[in-house]
Structure 1
Amino acid sequence: MTTQSATSETDAQGNTGVRIVLDGVSKVYPGSDRPAVDNVSLDIPAGEIVVFVGPSGCGKTTMMRMINRLSEPTSGRILIGDDDALSIKPTELRRSIGYSIQQAGLFPHMTIRQNIGLVPGLLRWDRKRTADRVDELLDLVGLEPTQYADRYPRQLSGGQQQRVGVARALAADPPVLLMDEPFGAVDPITRSTLQDELLRLQTELRKTIVFVTHDFGEAVKLGDRITVLGQQSKVLQYDTPQNILANPADDIVAGFVGSGASLQQLGLMRIKDVTLQSHPSVHRDDSVEQVRNVLAGSEFDWAVVLDDRDRPVSWVRESRLAHATALADATESLGVVSTQSTLEDALEAILAEQHASAVVTGSGSRYEGVVTLDTLIETITKLRADASAAAAQGQP
């Protein structure tokens, strides 16, 4: 980690993140006779998402905040890359670590551009470099710079504000990103979209992300590894989602996993792991006649409508074209999933739409194809057959 420039470098594995080591870390608040965090040791690999999950009051946020010294450890050692975090000035350390919180935490009197450019400004980046970085990040999180950069936070939806919060955390290209229940204040549909967006960004950026949540389902979806914490942040189990679901370490962890473990197993498999089907697409500037011709030459009675960057924006069914004079008169709103979405997400999207498939986006939110109900049924059937075969052989 380079605290002076606060920018990350790529290692031989393609990670721009760095390893984090917590070695015997404790936190005792003044006036308390028991530690909030008691002698915790943890090794967080570079370039992975590690999720802290546990009950309210267990110290998971305190443990995360000690990494950037928003909460000072009482004892122990924290290494970020090769650097001892306690040997770095707190202000320098925090400028080299991205931080994203619930409800975004944006400054209401600043524009979106000013909010994202805050840390680069503190690091004395020149104006052009800062402006270019803001535009790059807005585009990366799916917000058109010309449309959003000069707005104020109050002019954005909750989901858009969270995207800006993530962009601001990434502004100086830090190797480490800390996320404290960042999606907890938005509705479930927006939350799922933001989770997908984070996973998409991570495939490109490969940061080291420490993510705090109380939602075990969110931990399963996002985490490369999950740290299940008990009181005083005692590490009850630290493992991959697959291993925790299959082999909870004790009854407390099993309680977190819950009776829906088999369904959560489906949440481990992503749309990118199944075969997508091609489906007719048109562009929103196409004429009604052009769209009719596309559908006439296919076996389908509906098409995906794309914008000029090949991003799905709506859909149109053949029956609605009969009396339309412009394509916009016949289109209907469209919900999409991404290649990072889980099979559970895809199933929910299919049930919400009026056709037996869900439209899928990939890099840059561009159209990739559709995932069909038949594909999901075949995949789920195979997963269940594999699980039954493993159980019959006495495997966990």
Structure 2
Amino acid sequence: MTTQIAPEDTRDGTGVRIVLDHVSKVYPGSERPAVDDVSLDIPAGEIVVFVGPSGCGKTTMMRMINRLSEPTSGKIMIGESDALSIRPTELRRSIGYSIQQAGLFPHMTIRQNVGLVPGLLRWDRKRIAERVDELLDMVGLEPTEYADRYPRQLSGGQQQRVGVARALAADPPVLLMDEPFGAVDPITRSTLQDELLRLQSELRKTIVFVTHDFGEAVKLGDRITVLGNQSKVLQYDTPQNILASPADDTVAGFVGSGASLRQLGLMRIKDVELRPHPTVRESDSLDEVRKTLAGSEFDWVVVLDDRERPVSWVREGKLAHASTLAAVTESLDVVSTQSTLEDALEAILAGQHASAVVTGPGSRYEGVVTLDTLIDTITWLRASAEASTEESRGTAAP
């Protein structure tokens, strides 16, 4: 008889602590271990990111948590349970797993893909159907529109959202994510990162996330594990501390020369003041749009749909000879309140305004973040860093 994860570890789906105790992995025929005597304490309900060079063993170390790769030695605790005493198939059904390019089964519908693990756990059909609808809605995919499609009928970003939904289907306390957003374009990747942070603010899972992108690690991680060869832990700390005080030259190489700018990756748009900007509805007449602009100081306006979501924008100069509003609107890239200020800066530089449109819960319009706000924040961050450096020097002085 095998042990299962203790009921107290999974009773409400919230995260549990994971401890790797002197864990090693040696592949047959190899002279050197892929993972060499690693110990790590991952707090419950946090996102811990593994980052390191290709071939350093970061994916192997993560896969040992759900025993897709069996440890050669050491101990892994998930909550109060010894992972190595649990039947591997049972363990994997209690841990969510999301990989690059989603890994969806092409012959199954989206509903069948998401409901796979609950089905293996013998949930009844009604409960599975309700859970699938709940999760698709949670990741921003309307169930009535997407549930009966096949993966090939979805974009790469939509497939990745389904992959996250499938990983969350049985409400696991632990979610393992192996470069899940690495195969999508930068704009979609940023949106998916924001979505993950929004979900995490509600669900509080314990998430182990593997990436080779240090910027992604800074944005997502409550803590970052910088790994060297054989998964040697070079530094395990908060993003703030790693940016401020890299442990050695190797870690400093990951941080790079843009450390001061990366500080913008530590602050969320929700942490700064948003400014109002005039909006109109898709259904508004041209006269109504002109009237809105005439009463404002701006020469452009955000266009919202009937659910208060920004869908496009229109500049005043294009309204003079327009026949319909739809004929003169332009596509709009948005950031969310979960986005970082670095994301906002990139959106502003890529756009045609000195501001970026911001959405909140339900992708509804919240306001704009301006370039002036970012400049003020950078100035404040630089002054804070200088003050902290001076304080450290004063403390170190004899």
Question: Shorter chain as normaliser: what TM range?
Answer: over 0.9
Equivalent positions of 1:201-280 (< 5 A) are 201-280=199-278
Matched-pair contact (CA < 8 Å) for 2:9–2:80: no
Structure 1 residue aligned with 2:161: 163
**Structure 1 stretches (4+) deviating beyond 6 angstroms?**
4-7
Q: CA deviation at 1:9?
A: 4.1
| Distance in 1, Cα, partners of 2:93 & 2:391 | 53
Is 1:45 the counterpart of 2:43? The answer is: yes
Matched-pair contact (CA < 8 Å) for 2:4–2:90: no
Q: CA deviation at 1:21?
A: 0.8
Structure 2 residue aligned with 1:352: 350
Tell me the TM-score normalized by structure 1: 0.94
Matched-pair contact (CA < 8 Å) for 1:7–1:173: no
Matched-pair contact (CA < 8 Å) for 1:236–1:253: yes
Structure 2 residue aligned with 1:21: 19
2:320 to 319, 322, 335: 322
| Distance in 1, Cα, partners of 2:10 & 2:332 | 37
Matched-pair contact (CA < 8 Å) for 1:5–1:123: no
Equivalent positions of 1:1-396 (< 5 A) are 3=5, 8-10=10-12, 16-395=14-393
Does the C-alpha gap of structure 1 residues 326 and 126 become closer, same or farther in structure 2, counting only changes over 3 Å?
A: farther
SS of match in other structure, 1:328 = coil
Give the number of equivalent residue pairs.
Answer: 392
Q: Percent identity?
A: 84
Q: CA deviation at 1:162?
A: 0.9
| Distance in 1, Cα, partners of 2:299 & 2:11 | 49
SS of match in other structure, 1:16 = coil
Q: CA deviation at 1:7?
A: 9.3
| Distance in 2, Cα, partners of 1:113 & 1:5 | 28
Residue range with higher mean Cα deviation, 285-294 or 183-192:
285-294
Could you list the per-position Cα deviations for residues 326-373 of structure 1 after superposition, in whole angstroms to 9, with x for gaps in the alignment? 322221100000111111111111122211110011112111110011
Matched residue type, 2:366: E
Tell me the TM-score normalized by structure 2: 0.94
Could you list the per-position Cα deviations for residues 121-159 of structure 1 after superposition, in whole angstroms to 9, with x for gaps in the alignment? 111122222122111111111112222111111111111
Matched residue type, 2:284: D
Matched residue type, 2:106: P
Does the C-alpha gap of structure 1 residues 178 and 94 become closer, same or farther in structure 2, counting only changes over 3 Å?
A: same
Q: CA deviation at 1:5?
A: 8.6
Matched-pair contact (CA < 8 Å) for 1:193–1:337: yes
| Distance in 2, Cα, partners of 1:5 & 1:329 | 58
| Distance in 2, Cα, partners of 1:113 & 1:250 | 48
Q: CA deviation at 1:382?
A: 1.5
Matched residue type, 2:122: R
Q: CA deviation at 1:291?
A: 2.5
Matched-pair contact (CA < 8 Å) for 1:51–1:222: yes
Which stretches in structure 2 are left out of the alignment for 5+ residues? none
Q: CA deviation at 1:394?
A: 4.4
Residue range with higher mean Cα deviation, 169-178 or 139-148:
139-148
| Distance in 2, Cα, partners of 1:365 & 1:3 | 36
Residue range with higher mean Cα deviation, 279-288 or 88-97:
279-288
Matched residue type, 1:355: H
Matched-pair contact (CA < 8 Å) for 2:4–2:91: no
Matched-pair contact (CA < 8 Å) for 1:2–1:8: no
Does the C-alpha gap of structure 1 residues 309 and 170 become closer, same or farther in structure 2, counting only changes over 3 Å?
A: same
Matched-pair contact (CA < 8 Å) for 2:98–2:177: yes
| Distance in 1, Cα, partners of 2:7 & 2:144 | 28
